[in-house]
Amino acid sequence: MPFDPVILWTDALIYLLAVIVLCFVWHVHKNEHLLSPWRRVSHSASGMSALTVLLFFIAIGLLDTVHFRTALDHKNNHNETIYDAEVLSILDVLVTPLRTNVEKTYSAPLATHLYAKETLDLPDGTRVRAFARLEFGGAHLQHPEIERKPDILWRTTIGIGYGLLVWSILVAYLCFIQARRSQQNFSQCLTAIWRRKTEVPWYAILITLAIILSLIGAACMLATHYHVFGTDKVGQDVLYQSLKSIRIALVIGTLTTLIMLPFALLLGIMAGYFRGWVDDVIQYTYTTLNSIPSVLLIAAAVLMMGVYIETHPELFETIAARADLRLLFLCIILGITSWTSLCRLLRGETLKLREMEYIQAAHAFGVSHWRIITRHILPNVMHIVLIATVMDFSGLVLAEAVLSYVGVGVDPSMMSFGTMINAARLEMAREPMVWWALMAAFSFMLTLVLSANLFADAVQNALDPRVRTLSHESTILRHSKKKPISTTTKTTRRS
Amino acid sequence: MSELLEIDNLETILHTGKEPVRAVDGLSLKISRGETFALLGESGCGKSMTALSIMRLLPDAGEILAGSIKINGSDLLQLPEIDMRTIRGKHISMIFQEPMLSLNPVLTIAEQINEVLKRHFNLTPEAAQTRILDLLNHVGIPDAARRMHEYSFQFSGGMKQRAMVAMALAGEPELLIADEPTTALDVTIQAQVLELMRQIQQRNHMAILLITHDLGVVSEMAQRIAVMYAGEIIELATREDFFAHPAHPYSHQLFASLPKKQKRNQALAVINGNVPSLTQEFIGCRFADRCNKVTDICYQSKPQWQTITPHHQVRCHLFNKDSTLATNNPFPKTPEKNENIAVVDPISAATLPKTNNALLEVNDLKVHFPIHKGFFRRVVGHVKAVDGLSLKISAGKTLALVGESGCGKTTVGKSILQLINPTAGSVRYNNQELVGLKRKELRQMRSEFQFVFQDPYSSLNPRMRIIEILEEGMNALNVDTNDQENTNQQPSAFSREQEINDLLQRVGLPIETKWRYPHEFSGGQRQRIAIARALAVNPKLLICDEPTSALDISVQAQILNLLKSLQNNLGLAFLFITHNIAVVEYLADEIAVMYLGRIVEQGHIDEVTNHPKHPYTQALLSAVPQIEQTPDQKIIKLAGDLPSPAAPPSGCHFHPRCQHVMPICRKSYPQTSVFSPTHTTHCFLYTQEQSSSDHEH
Complex confidence, ipTM: 0.77
- A355 CB within 8 Å of a chain B CB: no
Strand order in the sheet with B424-429: B378-394, B358-373, B424-429, B432-433
CA distance A451 to A57: 10
Residue of chain B nearest A376, judged by CA positions:
B461
CB B568 within 8 A of CB B377: no
Q: How confident is the model at residue B301 (pLDDT cuts 50, 70, 90)?
A: confident
Residue A430 CB-density burial (10 A; 0-12 exposed, 13-18 middle, 19+ buried): middle
- pLDDT of A177 strictly over 70: yes
Provide the pLDDT for residue A65.
92
Q: Which alpha helices (H) appear in B139-208, and where do they start and end? A: 144-147, 157-169, 187-204
Q: How confident is the model at residue B176 (pLDDT cuts 50, 70, 90)?
A: very high
- pLDDT of B492 strictly over 50: no
Provide the pLDDT for residue A210.
95
Chain A CB contacts of B16 below 8 Å:
483-484
Mutate to test the interface with A, among B421, B520, B525 (most CBs of A within 10 A): B520
Q: How confident is the model at residue A440 (pLDDT cuts 50, 70, 90)?
A: very high
Provide the pLDDT for residue B346.
42
Q: Under 8 Å CB-to-CB from B414, ≥6 apart: which residues? A: A360, B420, B451
Tell me the backbone φ, ψ of residue B3, rounded to 5 degrees.
Answer: -85, 130
CA distance A128 to A118: 8
Nearest to B460 among A358, A487, A491 (CB): A358
The mean predicted confidence, pLDDT, of chain A is 84
Provide the pLDDT for residue B44.
78
The more confident residue out of B228 and B337 is: B228
DSSP string, B94-155: EE-S-HHHHS-TTSBHHHHHHHHHHHH----HHHHHHHHHHHHHHTT-TTHHHHTTSBGGGS
CB B31 within 8 A of CB B175: yes
CA distance B53 to chain A (A): 19
- A484 CB within 8 Å of a chain B CB: yes
Residue A456's nearest CA partner among A384, A371, A362 is: A384
Q: Write out residues 386-415 of B within 8 Å (CB-CB) of A.
A: 414
Taking an 8 Å cut-off on Cβ atoms, the answer to whether B446 and A486 are in contact is: no
Mutate to test the interface with B, among A481, A488, A489 (most CBs of B within 10 A): A481
- B274 CB within 8 Å of a chain A CB: yes
- pLDDT of B587 strictly over 70: yes
Provide the pLDDT for residue B227.
92
- pLDDT of B261 strictly over 60: yes
CA distance B565 to chain A (A): 23
CA distance B606 to B676: 12
- A364 CB within 8 Å of a chain B CB: yes
Q: How confident is the model at residue A464 (pLDDT cuts 50, 70, 90)?
A: low
Mutate to test the interface with B, among A480, A483, A486, A492 (most CBs of B within 10 A): A480
Terminal C-alpha separation, chain B: 63
CB B93 within 8 A of CB B169: yes
Nearest to A366 among B273, B277, B446 (CB): B446
* Strands B175-179, B207-212: pairing kind: parallel
Strand order in the sheet with B21-32: B21-32, B3-14, B62-71, B74-75
Q: How confident is the model at residue B180 (pLDDT cuts 50, 70, 90)?
A: confident
- B521 CB within 8 Å of a chain A CB: yes
Taking an 8 Å cut-off on Cβ atoms, the answer to whether B279 and A474 are in contact is: no
Residue of chain B nearest A383, judged by CA positions:
B463
Residue of chain B nearest A463, judged by CA positions:
B463
Provide the pLDDT for residue B480.
54
pLDDT digits (tens, 9 = 90+) for B528-562: 899 999 988 888 899 998 888 878 888 888 889 88
Mean pLDDT of A117-124: 83
Nearest to B473 among A365, A484, A488 (CB): A365
Q: Which alpha helices (H) appear in A275-377, and where do they start and end? A: 276-291, 294-311, 319-354, 357-364, 369-371
- B73 CB within 8 Å of a chain A CB: no
What proportion of chain B, given as a percentage, has pLDDT over 70?
Answer: 90
**Which residues partner with B386 through β-bridges?**
B367
pLDDT digits (tens, 9 = 90+) for A399-414: 887 787 777 888 888 8
The more confident residue out of A434 and A462 is: A434
The more confident residue out of B633 and B171 is: B171
Chain B CB contacts of A367 below 8 Å:
472-473, 476
DSSP string, B279-301: TSPP-S-TTGGG-TT--HHHHHS
CA distance B149 to chain A (A): 33
CA distance B603 to B693: 17
Q: What is the distance, to the nearest Å, from the Cα of residue B200 to the centroid of all Cα atoms in its chain?
A: 25
- pLDDT of B339 strictly over 70: no
- B450 CB within 8 Å of a chain A CB: yes
Indicate the DSSP class of residue A237.
B
Q: How many CB atoms lie within 10 A of CB B431?
A: 9
pLDDT digits (tens, 9 = 90+) for B366-376: 998 888 877 77
Taking an 8 Å cut-off on Cβ atoms, the answer to whether B465 and A33 are in contact is: yes
Taking an 8 Å cut-off on Cβ atoms, the answer to whether A366 and B476 are in contact is: yes
CA distance B30 to A155: 78
Chain A CB contacts of B451 below 8 Å:
360-361, 364
Provide the pLDDT for residue B494.
59
CA distance B453 to chain A (A): 7
Chain A CB contacts of B465 below 8 Å:
33
Provide the pLDDT for residue B322.
58
What proportion of chain A, given as a percentage, has pLDDT over 70?
Answer: 93
Taking an 8 Å cut-off on Cβ atoms, the answer to whether A482 and B533 are in contact is: no
Mean pLDDT of A342-347: 92
Taking an 8 Å cut-off on Cβ atoms, the answer to whether A356 and B458 are in contact is: yes
CA distance A290 to chain B (A): 21
Chain pair A-B, CB pairs under 8 angstroms = 129
CA distance A236 to A230: 8
Taking an 8 Å cut-off on Cβ atoms, the answer to whether A486 and B277 are in contact is: yes
pLDDT digits (tens, 9 = 90+) for A225-241: 899 998 988 888 999 99
pLDDT digits (tens, 9 = 90+) for A282-315: 999 999 988 888 888 888 888 888 888 889 888 8
The mean predicted confidence, pLDDT, of chain B is 82
Taking an 8 Å cut-off on Cβ atoms, the answer to whether A487 and B277 are in contact is: yes
Mean pLDDT of A367-396: 83
Chain B CB contacts of A371 below 8 Å:
476
**Among A315-319, B240-244, B380-384, B438-442, the range of highest mean pLDDT:** B240-244
Nearest to B517 among A363, A380, A465 (CB): A465
- HSE-CB for B554 with a 13 A CA cutoff: 21
CB B672 within 8 A of CB B652: no
CB A184 within 8 A of CB A198: no
Nearest to A480 among B477, B522, B533 (CB): B522
Mutate to test the interface with A, among B16, B19, B45, B472 (most CBs of A within 10 A): B472
CA distance B214 to A337: 56
Q: Under 8 Å CB-to-CB from B115, ≥6 apart: which residues? A: none
Nearest to A367 among B18, B19, B476 (CB): B476
What proportion of chain B, given as a percentage, has pLDDT over 90?
Answer: 13
**Which residues partner with B674 through β-bridges?**
B680
The more confident residue out of B561 and B332 is: B561
Chain A CB contacts of B278 below 8 Å:
484
Chain A CB contacts of B464 below 8 Å:
375-376, 379
- B544 CB within 8 Å of a chain A CB: no
Provide the pLDDT for residue A416.
87
Mean pLDDT of B573-588: 89
Provide the pLDDT for residue B671.
87
CA distance A479 to chain B (A): 6
Q: What is the distance, to the nearest Å, from the Cα of residue B103 to the centroid of all Cα atoms in its chain?
A: 22
pTM: 0.76
Q: How confident is the model at residue B356 (pLDDT cuts 50, 70, 90)?
A: low
The more confident residue out of A413 and A158 is: A158
Provide the pLDDT for residue A484.
36
Provide the pLDDT for residue B520.
79
CA distance B481 to B473: 12
CB B226 within 8 A of CB B38: yes
Mean pLDDT of A235-249: 91
Residue of chain A nearest B22, judged by CA positions:
A484
